[in-house]
Amino acid sequence: MAYATRIAILSAVAMLAAVGCGGGAGQREVGMSYEQLFEQGAISQESPLVSGSPEEAAALTRFSDLFAVFTPEAMREKVRRVYAEDVYFNDTLKEIRGVDALEAYLVESAEAVEVGRVEVRDVAQSGGNYYVRWVMELQFKKFRRGQLTRSLGISHLRFNSGGQVVYHQDYWDAAGGLFEHIPVVGWMIRSIKGRL
């Protein structure tokens, strides 16, 4: 089978697996780019948090604490403290608008793991944009039971004046952190990586 064909099949299977793994609770197509969100005024051009302020520190602490222990109970208890009502969220698997849909998605995602935790390693800030570098460890209930997966990533965040996240875009290794642990899809990814 040609290399390009294998990649196309892998991409299609991975997308189907992602949809099947993450559930469908409350998601709807959003389809807005970062620039469109700015243009429509959904995200302020100005940063409402003052760099180095107690409000900024509290907002970043709430975000870090939310994912420190990734359980359904923690998601139900903390999501609305961290995220604004009209939040835009994209973790590369799902694109979501609104805190109701986000809470449902995170609770459902947390229910799929035995162990889930994210450790924030550092934060950089530029013009109201926050870049949070993290390490995520997950142990899935259905896939490769007993094996802890480890993935590195960065979340791009913007906050409102109340210190709640209004924009959250993740950049991470979904192949190594999730897809390689799904039967058939994982075998395909490892096979292709082995041939590169």
User: 18 is in which domain, residue-wise?
Assistant: 3-195
Write the pLDDT tens digit of every residue in 49-94: 999 999 999 999 999 999 999 999 999 999 999 999 999 999 888 8
Total domain count, the chain: 1
Query: β-pairing, 129-140 with 149-159?
Result: antiparallel
Write the pLDDT tens digit of every residue in 158-187: 999 999 999 999 998 765 545 454 554 454
Rounded to whole angstroms, how far apart are CA atoms 112 and 91?
16
Higher pLDDT, 17 or 92: 92
The residues, any chain, with a CB within 8 Å of residue 155's CB and separated by 6 or more, are 63, 131, 132, 134, 168, 169, 170, 171
Q: What's the pTM?
A: 0.73
* pLDDT exceeds cutoff 70 at 190: no
| H runs (alpha helix) in 23-121 | 34-39, 54-68, 72-82, 99-111
Mean pLDDT of 124-130: 92
Rounded to whole angstroms, how far apart are CA atoms 186 and 27?
25
CATH number of the domain enclosing 104 = 3.10.450.50
